[in-house]
Structure 1
Amino acid sequence: MYDKVMESVRYIEEKINLKPEIGVILGSGLGNLTDTLENKQYLDYKDIPNFPQSTVKGHQGRLVFGLLNGVKVLFMQGRFHYYEGYSMKEVTYPVYVMKMLGIKNLIVTNACGGINTSFEPGTLMLINDFINLMGTNPLIGENDERFGPRFPDMSEPYDLKLIEKARDAASELGIDCKEGVYAGFMGPYYETASEIVMIGRMGADAVGMSTVPETIVANYLGMKVLGIACITNMATGIQTVKHSHERVVEIAQKASVKLCSLVTKIIETI
């Protein structure tokens, strides 16, 4: 694993003349965030040694490097999901690469379903904790101490100082940003009404099929994480219409204007 990651890192460093300080993982329909970058450079996943390939609509499948108000940033335009058939190590592979590129702060975004009934489609939620319902996790297997400890602490998976910066940024921009717990569900189907009742009773405010694996690995690697969820639909049993991925992407794209402003402001303060 370590050798594969370093092979990817060397390839990227040979192709890109910018050393990113902050990494951002973009969820379904949120790829427009890259439009604000200056001096953009692109690398398709398919060209990077050992990188998985994104197969989900709304995920373009490339790394985008550039400057955001003078800050050197790497955007991951399209993530990988466990339900695509990848191993958890493959799902989180880019996070290892980001760490070895020198990135210390990671912002993870997603499109997800709302369980908290005070939410509505288009709501942005700062993630303050997660529940792992995927039945596994990316740290299973032999541990390589060059990456991180065998038993990493997970008492603060989303950095409290970054959450505070995000709160301040949202307030300054006049964005009504909620906070809550995100449950990571394996997928790839939208949860049943009974599953949503269960997940809600566990304490989750939103549910989706990503983000948790990347958060676990980033903490393991010693990175600071900020999570922002875009509520694109209310979960089964709460909303009356049937779910569709097309609708999820549509709402995410509409909300991306707010998210873009928020992420830009946050990055300015990190």
Structure 2
Amino acid sequence: MGSCIGMVLGSGLGSIVDRMEIGERVPFSEAGIPTAGVAGHQGAFLLGRLAGRPVIAMAGRVHLYEGHDAKTVTAGVRWMAKKGVGTLVLTNAAGSLREDQPPGSWMVISDHLNLTGTSPLEGGPNFVDMSAVYDLAIGERLRAIAAGHGWHMGAGVYAGLRGPQYETPAEIRMLRTMGADAVGMSTVLEAMEAKRIGLKVVGLSCLTNYAAGMPSATLDHGDVMATGRNAADKMIRVFREWMES
């Protein structure tokens, strides 16, 4: 397994790359991946270092709702693995289903619900054990670092849907009944492919809004990006301390 850390940066979280020492930029097109078509996604791999550690940052991602299939959505995971990534940090902007995890906070993904209706493992007998997709030891380490800085990082289940529309209040009630703590339109397929390859997987949701039907819920992509940018600074501090240790 490679020693390089890979990071997939979701909506509004691209500012993390501003803290990197970037040695090479590879546009998605040069890696055989469609250009990201969503605001807040650069559409490039950035190879460099952060806190002295080799890092490949996937600045943006492609989504099912853009018309791509599961294999295309997860192509970036396979590209990074070939470049030596051994630990993959998947970040996303998500809606919170819990009032005790407000917008602007972060949640370590402990498990997920794949409600996209598809899988990157289709096409063969890829019976991969998904009982422990996420590396909870790394997740707890990140939570401990955050606590040391005086702010709480929750943990919970991420529900991945196809999108692109936001959920209805009835759908949010359904997801809460199913055990979801946050909801978004990415990450789960990437996590499944990374698990198949044998990477360590860390999932982090930046909770940018309350989900539909909850008090103070606002569902606007511009607000999502703004909240993500404001919350990114906290996570950068946590990443740096984790990598330095």
Determine what percentage of the aligned residue pairs are the same residue: 41
Partner of 2:13: 30
Pair 1:110 & 2:92 matched: yes
User: In 2, Cα distance between the equivalents of 1:58 and 1:20?
Assistant: 28
**Could you tell me how far 1:265 is from its partner in structure 2?**
2.1
1:60·1:77 contact (CA, 8 Å) conserved in 2?
yes
Matched, 1:65 2:47: yes
Tell me whether 1:42 sits opposite 2:18 in the alignment.
no
What's the offset of the Cα at 1:198?
0.1
Range that drifts further, 126-135 or 154-163: 154-163
Aligned to 1:251: 227
Tell me which amino acid in the other structure corresponds to 1:253: R
Once residues 223 and 241 of structure 2 are traced to their aligned partners in structure 1, the CA distance between those partners, rounded to angstroms, is: 27
TM-score normalised according to structure 1 size? 0.87
- 1:218-233 alignment runs, 5 A limit: 218-233=194-209
TM-score normalised to the size of structure 2? 0.95
1:116 to partner: Cα distance: 1.2
How far apart in 2 are the matches of 1:261 and 1:57? 25
> What is the count of residue pairs matched by the alignment?
244
Deviates more, 1:162-171 or 1:103-112: 162-171
Segments of structure 2 that go 5 or more residues without pairing to the other structure are none
Query: Is the 2:4–2:86 contact (alpha carbons within 8 Å) kept by the matching residues of 1?
Result: yes
Following TM superposition, the consecutive aligned residue runs of length 4 or more in structure 1 with deviations greater than 6 angstroms are: none
Q: Which ranges of structure 1 fall in alignment gaps of 5 or more residues?
A: 1-18, 144-149
Q: Give 1:261's match in structure 2, choosing from 233, 237, 242.
A: 237
Tell me the alpha carbon deviations over residues 167-212 of structure 1, each in whole angstroms, 9 at most, x when there is no partner.
Answer: 2221222231111110001100000000000000000000000010
Native 8 Å contact 1:20 1:74 kept in 2:
no
Partner of 2:173: 197
The answer to whether the Cα contact below 8 Å between 1:233 and 1:239 also exists between their aligned partners in 2 is no
Q: 1:235 is matched by which residue type in structure 2?
A: A
- Mapped to 2, the partners of 1:37 and 1:20 lie a distance apart of 17
**Correspondences of 1:178-217 after superposition (within 5 Å):** 178-217=154-193
Could you tell me how far apart the structure 2 residues matched to 1:69 and 1:117 are?
Answer: 34
Deviations 1:49-91 (A, max 9, x none): x222100000011111111121000000001111110010000
* Equivalent of residue 211 in structure 2, options 235, 243, 258: 235
Match of 2:134 in 1: 158
| Residue in structure 2 matched with residue 94 of structure 1 by the alignment | 76
What residue identity is the alignment partner of 2:141?
K
CA offsets per residue over residues 223-264 of structure 1, 9 Å max, x none?
000111000000000034541101100111111111211222
| CA distance in structure 2 between the aligned counterparts of 1:182 and 1:39, rounded to whole angstroms | 31
Which digits, 9 at most, give the CA deviation of each residue in 1:98-138, with x for residues without a partner? 11222110000000100012111101001100011111111
Q: Secondary structure at the match of 2:33?
A: coil
Give 1:81's aligned residue. 63
CA distance in 1, matches of 2:242, 2:160: 24
Q: Check the 8 A contact 1:20/1:65 in 2, yes or no.
A: no
